[in-house]
Amino acid sequence: MNRTTLRQVIGPVSFLLIVLICWFVAGMVADRMVQQELDATLRAQRQMSTSVVDNMAEVIASDLAMSRAIPATMAKLDMVQHALVQSRNYAANGDTAEPARRAALLKDSQLIEVSNFLHDAQGFSGLDQIWLVNANGICVASSNWTANPVAASRSFIGVDMRVRGYLSSALLGAFSEAYGVGRQSGEPGIFIAAPVYADGLLAGVVVAKVSLARLRHWVAHAGTFVADENGVVIMAHDSTLEGSALPNGRVTQMSAADRHVVYRHDSFPELRIHADPQVREAAPWVPPAAAAQLFGMGRQPLPSLVESRSGLNSGLSAHLVDPLAGWPELLRNHKRDQLLVFLTMAGTVALAWVITVSYVRERRHHRATRDLAEQLQSANALLSAEARHDALTGALSRRYFLDLLRHEIERARAARQPLCMAIADLDHFKQINDRFGHATGDRALEHFVETCRTELRGADAVGRLGGEEFGVLLPATDLASGREVVERLRMRLKAVPSPQLPASVVLSVSIGITELSADDLPERIMSRADMALYAAKSGGRDRTEAVPPDDDTAPPARTAVTAW
């Protein structure tokens, strides 16, 4: 295949590949843009949903607190306590049937007076019914009593109420509150039972009922519903949800008989509130964390936020299923954004292609010059590093060390600080080279420099003056302190051998040190340090000698270093 044919094939393929890449990238950008919109929408709607549920919970708690106050207050009245004490002998047994008990109770003028009181209290309290139950579970007074013999049977007086679930705890002396359905009226409500004590003994219970019809304002907001402690929806804005059971509700574990006692029926369709799988199917760009916040519920076509509040000083819980109203718009925005970004990118790529072709042509002319400049810069950097440091040991080179010495002398005088210089020479280094080879000698030099770096401060400097001879600068250090420093260096070199040297190699060093005087030149301080080194060598090696700054007397057999 010749070059012309190759271009004819590659051209359309490249164009198609660029289009696909632009579309893919446009999708990623659109995903990011609409994700930000989704986050903002979720935050705003979550705040509104939280406010609705919190307000709903406050209203429920407030209404129930007011409803509890009536029977709780009545339980403390002398009239109520006395009536229950006087009627304690009424009980359910085989000898006394319900009609007979009712007839006997309706003949008791004191209990009739209490029933009239309960009737009046019902009128101004907002409660639907109030009645008294003695300790044996028999209703002895009721707000719905009537003197009409025909209608008297519809009152609670004389009825054995022990089987009522809301009375089980109250008859044991505990305040109770529960949802239930009236056996006679068939109307659901909240039953509140307050135990009554007389002289420290349980005398009976004051029971009050609040019909759910009075509490419909609890679910005034769309999507709200209230569930009881067994997980049954007892009230909902959408009345078709009432009687449903929440997932894993306690009602599913109750026996059929118990369910019938409380709810007057035993069938509870499950209210399915679950993570909506269609969210990721319809919008793969939705992050998993955001998708986990969206739920579906049977007939609800839109994904929804779910908020719940429990612990309302009762067994009730408040719920809100709030559809995400902006969901269709988010789907439309994603498609629109992807198209707009694609068109923008396609135009940008076309323009970039033209600019790139022109740029590449210009770059070809400058590439050779740039490569040469980079090579020259690398070579200069390498030369600079070689000029600054000794290639073998990493210590400062002789030239850089001498330049640093001049600089440190100027700085010490300007700051009025002391300065010490030392010259160190490895003892019998030639014998190490002759016996073990130059490679071992190189390791010995490296070990000495590493020892210096370990023992000296960061501001101190070590330079290789030549062969096995090294210079050491100790800024801001007087002669006494400097001698202690180099003496520690000498002792450490002997005490810590290098693992890279043969065990038979014993390194030692002779060190001469001096301090800068007021009128010293670099040549003079270095000469005195060399004199001190000569004294250390003459004294038997492996030792430190110091020459004061005012002693320039040269030794008879050692010539000071003069190469600068």
Report the relative pairing of strands 509-515 and 544-547 from DSSP bridges. parallel
CB within 8 Å of 384: residues ≥ 6 apart: none
Kindly state whether residue 38 falls inside one of the protein's structural domains: no
CA 272 centroid distance within chain: 31
What stretch of H or E contains 427?
none
d(CA 100, CA 93): 11
Compute the distance between CA of residue 240 and CA of residue 466 in angstroms, rounded to an integer.
100
**How far is residue 405's CA from residue 522's CA, in Å, rounded to a whole number?**
7
SS3 content of the chain, % helix, strand, coil (to 5): 50, 20, 30
Q: Tell me whether residue 487 is in a domain.
A: yes
Q: Give the Cα separation of 509 and 494 in Å (integer).
A: 9
- Is residue 473 a contact partner of residue 487, using CB atoms and an 8 Å limit? no
- Per-residue pLDDT at 384: 62
Which residues neighbour 174 within 8 Å (Cβ) at sequence distance 6 or greater? 195
Residues 438, 369 contacting (CB under 8 angstroms): no
- Determine the Cα–Cα distance for residues 107 and 111; give it in Å rounded to an integer: 8
Any residues with CB less than 8 A from the CB of 452 and at least 6 apart, and which? Answer: 395, 462, 470, 472, 489
Q: Does the residue 15 lie in any domain?
A: no
Tell me the CA distances in angstroms from 171 to 34, 174, 182, 193, 228, one per residue in order: 60, 7, 19, 9, 21
Residue 436: CATH number of its domain: 3.30.70.270
Q: What is the dihedral of CA 175, 178, 180, 182, to 10 degrees?
A: 30
Q: In sequence order, what DSSP letters do the residues of 321-346 get, joined into one string?
A: EEE-TTHHHHHHHHHHHHHHHHHHHH
Q: Largest Cα–Cα distance in the chain? A: 147
Residue 204: predicted pLDDT: 92
Residue 438 sits at φ, ψ, to 5 deg, of: -70, -25
The range of the structural domain enclosing residue 186 comes to: 75-220
Q: What is the mean pLDDT of each run of 10 residues along the chain (564 residues)?
A: 61 77 83 84 89 89 86 90 89 74 85 88 84 90 76 76 81 85 81 91 91 88 88 87 84 81 81 74 80 73 84 79 84 84 82 79 72 66 67 89 93 94 93 90 91 91 91 94 93 89 89 92 92 93 91 51 34
Q: Is residue 511 part of a domain?
A: yes
* Both structure tokens of 137: 């579970």
Nearest to 196, CA basis, from 178, 173, 177, 176: 173
The domain spanning residue 111 has which CATH number? 3.30.450.20
In a domain, 89, yes or no: yes
- State the pairing for strand pair 300-309/461-466: unpaired
Write down the pLDDT at residue 536.
Answer: 93
Angle at 426 between CA 425 and CA 428, to 5 degrees: 120
Closest CA relative to residue 320, chosen from 217, 249, 226, 250:
226
448 part of a folded domain:
yes
End-to-end Cα distance, the chain: 71
What DSSP string runs through 203-264? EEEEEEEEEGGGGGGGG-STTEEEE-TTSBEEEESSGGGTT-B-TT-GGGGS-HHHHHHHHS
Query: What tokens appear for 27 in the block?
Result: 């999708």
**Is residue 346 in some structural domain?**
no
pLDDT at 373: 63
**Residue whose entry in the numeric block shows the structure tokens 């019914």:** 129
Report the predicted TM-score, pTM, of the whole model to 2 decimal places.
Answer: 0.55
Answer whether residue 466 is part of any domain: yes
Tally of structural domains, the chain: 2
Q: Please name the residue that has the structure tokens 């039972």.
A: 193
Residue 342: predicted pLDDT: 80
